[in-house]
A and B are shown apart, each in its own frame.
Chain A
């Protein structure tokens, strides 16, 4: 009887551990993308400030409640503004931010292309 009990406990532990690991992975990836607002240049994941500790707990609770990654980001941006995200969302305020590297790349490419044509000639 005892052996069966131990066996069942082990089985349950093994059954739930991948689920827990998934939640931890999600929590880590979310907190790595959150800026610790009271620290300089640290993510919530890296910081041990009171603010970051509480925020990690909130993210953990929200994952347990079944919220998706995007829903958690929306929830936090509602409270703290877009600044809390390291990876800002694509909207009319951030068009310039997202398109600037592409524009610079195209501009640089055009210069190189022009030079190459000149050399060929």
Chain B
């Protein structure tokens, strides 16, 4: 009787361990926290062209959708998603704000003159601390903002599917 219970327990624990590891293997190793609707962080930053200090309160004040896109000229995936941002910038209901992440001004300027400028405003994040305020992991990353709340977060470059999703939300 005792050995039966023992073998039953052994099989159950083996199965349990197997399921845990099997599920763990299929899980992506890149962790993304669940995003509930969150307020945007309060911060101030220097604008890219005019070099003026602006507060986040004044940037997202209008009653429309905003897309905050973290980008850098040295980031290859940013180049890939850039034409999608240009496409989105034609939409009147959406204002695209750029956050230039740890970049060199001249390189960033070249990047924009070469690929186009989809941004209404560009803010500078020289040391990456503003991106941390937004809870970002790196570049590129995009946040859809409405009424001072982050309603959607896209980690990595935008693709056709995410652009469709954005268009659906803002309609």
- Chain A interface residues toward B at CB < 8 A: 37-38, 40, 50-51, 53-55, 57-58, 61, 79-81, 83
Contacts and interface: CB of A to CB of B under 8 A. Distances in A.
Interface in B102-130: 102, 127-129
Contacts, number: 37
A79 B129 CA distance: 13
A76 B143 CA distance: 18
A53 B33 CA distance: 21
Contacts of B133: 79
Interface of B: 29-31, 33-34, 102, 127-129, 131-135, 137-138
User: Main secondary structure on chain B at its contact with chain A?
Assistant: loop
A57 B132 CA distance: 10
B135 A54 contact: no
Contact of B132 (A38, A54, A83): A54
Nearest to A79: B135
Given A51-B137, A79-B135, A80-B135, A37 B31 contact: yes
B87 to A, nearest CB: 28
Nearest to B128: A54
Given A38-B137, A50-B138, A51-B138, A58 B132 contact: yes
